[in-house]
């Protein structure tokens, strides 16, 4: 059936619901498999797998319902997935997590801010660098010094 609206066309009338339903169904199935070796009810004592399996089944059923409804109910089209934002943001967060205990806030902070700043097209390297140093200096003053937080400040190999 041809469909010429702004919404989904062809067989799948609500692409967002279709993708979402499919993804969550996959999560439910994967989780259910992951739970297979857990115990179930023993007498009236709950097993470790009882509640999560119940939630899994519910999630799977509801996700399936959504998936099926995407063939019958019209809904908005899929949005485009830009790569630049997520890539740089995730890279900067991952960088922070992986290096904070090795490089310390002074180094990790500056690079984290720079990496995340690069997530937008109009990133200005000079302004960005000055800002990164300033905000890191502020955090370094606030957390380890003023608040006495046990966050490493300098790289471990410099100590």
Partner 1 sequence: MLALTKRALLGGAFALAATAAQAQGFPNKPITMIVPFAAGGPTDLIARIVGDHMSRSMGQQVVIENVAGAGGTTGITRAARSPADGYTIMMGHMGTHGAAPGLYPQLAYNPQTDFTPIGLAAGTPIVIVTKKDFPASTLQEFVAKVKADGDKITQAHAGVGSVSHITGLLFNQASGGKPTSVPYRGTGPALNDLVAGNVDFMADQIVNVAEQIKAGTVKAMGVATAQRNPALPNLATTTEGGLANYQVTAWNAVFAPKGLPADVTAKLTEALTKAVTDPVIKKRLEDLGADVPDAQRASPAALATLVKSENERWVPLLKAANITAN
Partner 2 sequence: MEVFANLIGGLWVVFKIVPVDIMPGAGSFIVPLPVNVLLCLVGAMIGTLIGVLPGVGPIATIAMLLPITYKLDPTGALIMLAGIYYGAQYGGSTTAILVNIPGEATSVVTTLDGFQMAKQGRAGAALAIAAIGSFFAGTVATLVIAVLGVPLTALALKFGPADYFSLMIMGLIFAVALARGSVLKALIMVTLGLLASTIGSDLESGEQRLTLGLLELSDGIEFAVLAMGIIGFAEILRNLENPETRDLVQAKVTGLMPTKQDFKDSAMPIVRGTIIGSILGILPGNGAVLGPFASYTVEKKLAKDPSRFGRGAIEGVAGPESANNAGAQTAFIPMLTLGIPPNAVMAIMIGAMTIHGIVPGPQIMQKQPELFWGMIASMWVGNLMLLIINLPMVGIWVKLLQVPYRMLFPAILLFCCIGIYSVNNQPFDVLMTGACGLFGYFLVKNGFEAAPLLIAFVLGKLMEEKLRQAVLISRGSMAVFIERPLSATFLVVAVVMLVFALLPSIRKKRDEVFTE
Q: Residue numbers of the site for partner 1 (CB under 8 A)?
A: 45, 148, 150, 153-154, 157-159
- Which of 71, 73, 125, 141 is close enough to bind partner 2 by CB under 8 A? 73
Reading the block at residue 5, the tokens are: 């609206």
| 157 binds, options partner 2, partner 1, none, Cβ within 5 to 8 A by partner type | partner 1
When the beta carbons of 83 and 157 are compared against partner 1, the nearer one is 157
**Residue of the chain from 12, 27, 133, 137 that contacts partner 2 (CB under 8 A):** 27
Kindly compute the dihedral angle of the four CA atoms of residues 126, 129, 134, 140, in this order, to the nearest 10 degrees: -170
Out of partner 2, partner 1, none, which partner does residue 27 contact, by CB within 5 to 8 A per kind? Answer: partner 2
Q: Are 129 and 114 in contact (CB under 8 A)?
A: yes
Q: Which residue has the tokens 């969550």?
A: 24
Number of residues lying near partner 2 (CB under 8 A): 77
Residue 67 contacts which entry, partner 1, partner 2, none (Cβ below 5-8 A, type-dependent): none
What, of partner 2, partner 1, none, does residue 75 touch, CB below 5 to 8 Å by kind?
partner 2
* CA 146/CA 63 separation, integer angstroms: 49
Instruction: Give the whole-angstrom CA distance, residue 117 versus residue 131.
Output: 10
Contact of 74 with 13, CB cutoff 8 Å: yes
Token couple for 76: 């908005």
Least Å from the CB of residue 51 to partner 2 = 4
């Amino acid at each position: 059936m041809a469909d010429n609206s702004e919404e989904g066309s062809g067989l799948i009338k609500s692409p967002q619901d279709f993708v979402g339903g499919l993804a969550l169904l996959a999560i439910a199935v994967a989780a259910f498999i992951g739970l297979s070796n857990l115990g179930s009810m023993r007498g009236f004592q709950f097993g470790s797998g009882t509640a999560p399996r119940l939630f899994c089944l519910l999630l799977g059923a509801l996700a399936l319902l959504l998936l099926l409804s995407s063939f019958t109910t019209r809904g908005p089209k899929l949005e485009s997935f830009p790569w630049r934002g997520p890539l740089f943001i995730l890279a900067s967060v991952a960088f922070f997590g992986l290096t904070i205990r090795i490089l310390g806030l002074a180094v990790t902070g500056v690079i984290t801010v720079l990496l995340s700043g690069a997530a937008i097209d109009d990133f200005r390297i000079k302004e960005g660098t000055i800002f990164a140093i300033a905000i890191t200096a502020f955090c370094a003053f606030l957390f380890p010094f003023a608040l006495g937080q046990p966050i490493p400040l300098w790289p471990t190999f410099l100590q």
